[in-house]
Amino acid sequence: MPPSALVDAHHFEAMGTNCSFFGVGLSRGRLLEGEFWVRRMGARLTRFSPDSELSRFNASAGRWIDISAELEALLRESLRAFETSAGLVNVAVLPSMAAIGYTRPLSFGRPPATEARVGPLPALPDALSVRPGAARLEPGAGIDLGGIAKGWMADRLLESLGPNALANLGGDLSAGGIGPAGTGWPVGLAGVTVLLRDQGAATSSVRRRQWGEHHHLIDPRTGLPARTGLEEVSVVAASGVEAEVVAKAALLVGRELAPVYCATHALAWWLSP
């Protein structure tokens, strides 16, 4: 590897956010293939379109429904995230999102004021069952894959982009290989550059997608927007999806316990009260 190999970059907007690919020696065709895959997956996994695979799954609560291999993998990843975060990361937040009025993209305007009346979320394994090629939601339950989908997709993109590449989907990123200079991929984390090699990074925050007294990050213990004394957490972990799960769990666990949680689950972390 030369001291600083030329980096191929590709930027586009998808899933309501900015996406970027970086790689060394990547062909234009491979970059475009990656973009098309992100767009296809985004269309299938959005909860804002009634025709998406996720919306059809949410609408079929109470019965088994055939699902794609990608949605099955994501649902299994969500169950794993619930388990490893001791229930703090729970994708069954759709009823809470509806209760606080977050039923359409915020780019369409501020959600209407609501009197949120929800309770704690059900344990995900009680609400969601997955078997090969099919899944079932309990009546009344609903899924929003949120950042888990972006972290998972960033990890999958590395498999198609090549061994020395980086995928960033709206701040959820996965970096594979030794980077352009052989020392790792230089990535900004809380204003500091860190070098990532076969690692992922993610940020969880209540500062974005905020309106009135509400924001989008639901605390599964209350079913309401989280108030934990932390407003933003950035994390480096072994993969993009793991970083997403740890960042969200650290923010939810609160200001006092987050340093200990991150010390045992993250490779680097930034906590902002």
Q: Are strands 199-205 and 165-169 parallel, antiparallel or unpaired?
A: unpaired
- Give the one residue of 5, 189, 222, 227 binding another protein; rule: CB under 8 A: 189
184 binds another protein (CB under 8 A): yes
Spatial distance between the Cα atoms of 174 and 114, rounded to a whole number of angstroms: 37
262 binds another protein (CB under 8 A): yes
Please choose, from the candidates 261, 257, 202, 252, the residue with its C-alpha nearest in 3D space to the C-alpha of residue 231.
252
Report the b/e string of 241-266 with b at 16+ CB within 10 A.
Answer: bbbbbbbbbbbbbeeeebeebbeebb
121 binds another protein (CB under 8 A): no
Token pair recorded at residue 140: 């009344």
Q: Which amino acid is at 255?
A: R
Token pair recorded at residue 99: 């209760």
Query: Contact, 88 vs 81, CB < 8 A?
Result: no
- Per the document, the length of the chain is 273
Select the span of 13-21, 63-71, 84-92, 112-120 touching another protein (CB under 8 A).
13-21
Select the span of 53-61, 72-80, 115-123, 184-192 touching another protein (CB under 8 A).
184-192
Token pair recorded at residue 197: 């090699």
* CB nearer to another protein: pick between 95 and 186: 186
Please choose, from the candidates 179, 198, 195, the residue with its C-alpha nearest in 3D space to the C-alpha of residue 1.
179
Select the span of 48-56, 76-84, 105-113, 169-177 touching another protein (CB under 8 A).
169-177
Shortest separation between residue 181's beta carbon and another protein, angstroms: 7
Number of shown-chain residues binding another protein (CB under 8 A): 52
Contact flags string 16-55 toward another protein, x per CB under 8 A: xxx-x-x---------------------------------
Please choose, from the candidates 231, 270, 247, the residue with its C-alpha nearest in 3D space to the C-alpha of residue 173.
247
183 binds another protein (CB under 8 A): yes
Show contacts with another protein in window 195-254 (CB under 8 A): 195-196, 199, 201-205, 207-208, 232, 234, 236, 243
Query: Contact, 24 vs 7, CB < 8 A?
Result: yes
Token pair recorded at residue 270: 């930034």
Shortest separation between residue 6's beta carbon and another protein, angstroms: 12
Spatial distance between the Cα atoms of 179 and 7, rounded to a whole number of angstroms: 9
* CB nearer to another protein: pick between 13 and 159: 13
Tell the burial category of 138 from Cβ atoms under 10 Å away from its Cβ (0-12, 13-18, 19+). Answer: middle
Shortest separation between residue 115's beta carbon and another protein, angstroms: 27
168 binds another protein (CB under 8 A): yes
* CB nearer to another protein: pick between 4 and 160: 4
* CB nearer to another protein: pick between 92 and 175: 175
The site for another protein (CB under 8 A) is made up of 7, 9, 16-18, 20, 22, 166, 168, 170-173, 180-181, 183-196, 199, 201-205, 207-208, 232, 234, 236, 243, 259, 262-263, 266-273
